[in-house]
Amino acid sequence: MSEKQKLRLAVLASGGGTNLQSIIDRCGQGLLDADICLVISNNPGAGALERATRTGIKTACINHREFDSREDFDQAVIATLQEAKIELVVLAGFMRIISAPFLRAFPQKIINIHPSLLPSFPGLHVQQKALDYGAKISGCTVHFVDDGVDTGPIIVQAVVPIHPDDSEESLAARILEQEHKIYPQAIQWIAEGRIKVVNRQVKIAGGEISAATLTNPSSPDE
């Protein structure tokens, strides 16, 4: 595949950046028709910036604390993305709400990963919320970003069982394993032009429907 065809990505991350790493690795293996052209963080200490630098990816640290308003911060991010001619904005643990001008600048070109089965448990600390609620299954969701919090059209979800002795950390780790699979997959579908959004249904041309089901605790028939 020629360089010309590759989708120009920016990954926005506030934390450790394991999702970023999964995308870097997939690009390195030649399995993604995409180039990570830029990594942006609002947090100067983000491990994601280190991971990008180590791989030779351009980084920008835009510290939200240095701006008077969300809009001013978002304007700086938008300008940086536009200058780099970014075609898809990938939020990977980016702990900032996206403002309306940001959405207008990249219509249906911003995606997010969230560590729950949306619409259950939007927001923060969602692994602990799933444990506190007593849910038996959780998982992760890749979705387009709209003007709500974790409400945009769903592209793909993965399910994981919750164990009786799970801590927030053990559940988060089990969910992250699945995040690292479905996020690169969703990006590849977008790069291949296979995704269309009709109302809020995301149609994936040739997307195979999983035959797997999960009962937790498992039933004797499984």
Q: Which residues bind ligand GAR (CB under 6 A)?
A: 13, 15-19, 92-93, 113-115, 176, 179
Cβ neighbours, 10 Å, residue 156:
20
Identify which of residues 161 and 203 has a Cβ nearer to ligand GAR in the complex.
Answer: 161
- Which of 15, 161 has the CB closer to ligand GAR? 15
* Residue 123 CB, nearest approach to ligand GAR (Å): 7
Q: Measured from the CB atom, is 113 or 187 closer to ligand GAR?
A: 113
Q: Which of 172, 170, 167, 144 is nearest to 156 (CA)?
A: 144
Tell me how far apart the alpha carbons of residues 14 and 173 are, in angstroms, rounded to a whole number.
Answer: 18
Q: Which amino acid would we find at residue 191?
A: A
Cis peptide before 119 (omega within 30 of 0): yes
CB 203 within 8 A of CB 195: yes
User: Closest Cα partner for 86 from 198, 30, 8?
Assistant: 8
Q: Which is nearer to ligand GAR, 93 or 105 (CB)?
A: 93
Whole-number minimum distance, CB 214 to ligand GAR, in Å? Answer: 20
The beta strand positions in 50-166, using DSSP E, are 59-61, 88-91, 110-114, 137-144, 154-161
CB atoms near residue 124 (< 10 Å): 10
Q: How far is CA 155 from CA 67, 79, 192, 201, in A?
A: 33, 27, 14, 8
Minimum CB distance to ligand GAR smaller for 158 or for 176: 176
- Active site residue ranges: 114
Least separation in angstroms between CB 3 and ligand GAR: 26
Q: How far is the CB of 221 from ligand GAR (least distance, A)?
A: 33
Least Å distance, CB 177 to ligand GAR, is 11
